[in-house]
Amino acid sequence: MIRVLLVDDQALVRAGFRALLAAQPDVEVVGEAGDGRAAVELARRERPDVVLMDIRMPVMDGLEANRLIKRELPETRVIVLTTFELDEYVFTAIRDGASGFLVKDTEPADLIRAVRVVASGDALLSPGVTRRLISEYAQKSRAPSHSVALEALTEREREVLALVGLGLSNEEIAGRLVVSPLTAKTHVSRAMIKLGARDRAQLVVFAYESGLVRPGWV
């Protein structure tokens, strides 16, 4: 059973998400919060698998709540909810540990899929949108710099990391490098371990912030 916490300052939004998710046989909504502080307290008590987190809220915003939850409960996955796809706050949330983001008007089937994908331990990455988002804001947030951590990667792992940064899936990476999908997945997993990345979303951020991938690359 996937335990989900809903966080949004609009009761109507929470009610809609609850009705949709509660109807799924493998999902349980364990609580609702209307601000970030209440979300952190609920997360500490309920230890949900997934948090659907709005960004702009009173008392404590979703960015700070995301940071606190990921620091105290690293196994809890956070999906950021936003009104606009290209939102600079979403980049900050992903860099701080969120596993991905959804626009609030996403289709019901996509919301359910997102919760299941993130609960399974994967990152919620829509390659095109996520790549545009991160490439637009990574350099605004901090200048790319050579990272000592990159030196721990093999040449092939750096190559794979760059392709992850471009938004390619394991299957697409395998096709580009002419290896099996399993081999591509292994390289991605090793890069995550060496870089201390929580998930694939943070690999994308690292690829840009290290300068391994630059905006505009395809």
Most confident of 25-34, 94-103, 139-148: 25-34
- If one looks up domain 144-209 in CATH, what number appears? 1.10.10.10
**What is the structure's pLDDT at 210?**
79
Q: pLDDT class for 105, splitting at 50, 70, 90?
A: confident
Percent of the chain with pLDDT over 70: 83
**What is the structure's pLDDT at 97?**
82
Higher pLDDT, 121 or 16: 16
Cα–Cα distance between 53 and 31 in angstroms, integer?
Answer: 12
Which residue ranges make up each domain of the chain? 2-124, 144-209
Whether pTM > 0.85 for this model: the answer is no
Q: What is the pLDDT of residues 1-17, one digit of tens each?
A: 999 999 999 999 999 99
- What is the chain's alpha carbon radius of gyration, rounded to the nearest angstrom? 17
Task: Of 86, 95, 35, 89, give the one whose Cα is nearest residue 65.
Answer: 35
Higher pLDDT, 202 or 141: 202
Supply the DSSP string of 174-217, one letter for each residue: HHHHTS-HHHHHHHHHHHHHHHT-SSHHHHHHHHHHTTSS-TT-
Are 2-124 and 144-209 the same fold in CATH? no
Task: Of 166, 189, 186, 163, give the one whose Cα is nearest residue 176.
Answer: 163
Averaged over 53-75, what is the pLDDT? 92
pLDDT of 41 > 90? The answer is yes
Higher pLDDT, 217 or 85: 85
Residue 38: count other Cβ atoms within 10 Å of its Cβ. 17
Cα–Cα distance between 75 and 130 in angstroms, integer?
Answer: 22
The three-state secondary structure class of 32 is: strand
pLDDT of 218 > 50? The answer is no
Determine contact, residues 31/46, Cβ cutoff 8 Å. Answer: yes
- If one looks up domain 2-124 in CATH, what number appears? 3.40.50.2300
Averaged over 100-119, what is the pLDDT? 86
Residue 27: count other Cβ atoms within 10 Å of its Cβ. 20
Q: pLDDT class for 217, splitting at 50, 70, 90?
A: very low
Averaged over 78-97, what is the pLDDT? 78
Percent of the chain with pLDDT over 90: 44
**What is the structure's pLDDT at 209?**
76
Q: pLDDT class for 206, splitting at 50, 70, 90?
A: confident
Q: What is the pLDDT of residues 146-198, one digit of tens each?
A: 565 678 889 999 999 988 887 777 888 999 999 998 999 899 999 988 888 87
Averaged over 197-204, what is the pLDDT? 78
